[in-house]
Amino acid sequence: MREQTFSLSDSAASSLPAERAAFIRRTYAHLAVAILLFTGLEYYLVNAPFAAKLAASMTGGMSWLIVLGLFMGVSYIADKLATSGSSQQMQYLGLGLFIIAEAIVFLPLLFIATHFGGEGLIPTAGLMTLLLVGGITATVFITKKDFSFMGGILSMGAFVALGFIACSMIFGFSLGLIFSSVMILFAGGSVLYSTSNILHQYRTDQHVAASLSLFASVALLFYYIVQFLMHFAGGSDD
């Protein structure tokens, strides 16, 4: 989730209905493509001969903190590229870079979920994510409320969550089911915020940036739903 600064006078909300509808279609089409690319890349990584060794090296000792730090850096660069007005090629480069980064970060969790989490865990998590995102999306588009005020709250929540993750790695305790549950709520709020920005904040030429923001929120929701389900499968990756 990223807190963005927008110009309301140029937003999709103030554009013509046809332009706004076209922007929304482009945004969700790009989201669908991003999810498909992520799925394909993740399938390759999880089933690659080097998957077990790479996943272990990413999570051993303090390595996960380094991975998260690198991911945050790459995410920042990708977001800047996606919101760049210089060229559409740079925007797509940012989106592609973020998809690759997400796939790599997801590898340890999905490797364990695939091989030790039980049959059907990942499809179940995917379906739950789809249903939750669908419900949140419907809420935003039906009520047409602007939830941009949530940006600051979510940013603070993200720092708190990172603090808990860092402490769990440093002091060696498990975050557990409660943390996963809270993070699902947090990710749902992030989806709500990103979806609201699509309707009220982004310009009609910012479909790449809008799709990246929403993809990040959906991916976060999926990640913690997988973790939540793995607690019941006995394969949690805390």
Q: Which two tokens stand for residue 111?
A: 């490797």
Q: Which two tokens stand for residue 123?
A: 């499809």
Q: Tell me the per-residue pLDDT of 76-117, one tens digit each, with 9 for 90 and over.
A: 999 999 988 778 899 999 999 999 999 999 999 999 999 888
What average pLDDT score do residues 220-234 get? 90
Q: Tell me the per-residue pLDDT of 170-209, one tens digit each, with 9 for 90 and over.
A: 877 778 889 999 999 999 999 999 999 998 889 888 999 9
Mean pLDDT is lowest, of 26-40, 61-75, 85-99, 223-237, for 223-237
Q: Tell me the per-residue pLDDT of 54-80, one tens digit each, with 9 for 90 and over.
A: 999 998 778 888 899 999 999 999 999
| pLDDT confidence of residue 6 | 47
Q: Which two tokens stand for residue 169?
A: 């790695």
Q: Which two tokens stand for residue 60?
A: 């051993």
- Residue with structure tokens 């927008």? 6
What average pLDDT score do residues 1-15 get? 58
Q: Tell me the per-residue pLDDT of 198-218, one tens digit each, with 9 for 90 and over.
A: 988 898 889 999 999 999 999
- Percent pLDDT > 70 in the chain is 94
| Average per-residue pLDDT for the chain | 89
| pLDDT confidence of residue 236 | 52
In this structure, are residues 202 and 6 in contact, taking their beta carbons and an 8 Å threshold?
Answer: yes
Dump the DSSP string for the chain: -------GGGBGGGS-HHHHHHHHHHHHHHHHHHHHHHHHHHHHHHHSTTHHHHHHHHHSTTHHHHHHHHHHHHHHHHHHHHT-SS-HHHHHHHHHHHHHHHHHHHHHHHHHHHHHS-TTHHHHHHHHHHHHHHHHHHHHHHH----TTHHHHHHHHHHHHHHHHHHHHHHT---HHHHHHHHHHHHHHHHHHHHHHHHHTSBTT-HHHHHHHHHHHHHHHHHHHHHHHHHHHT----
Domain coordinates in residue numbering, the chain: 13-233
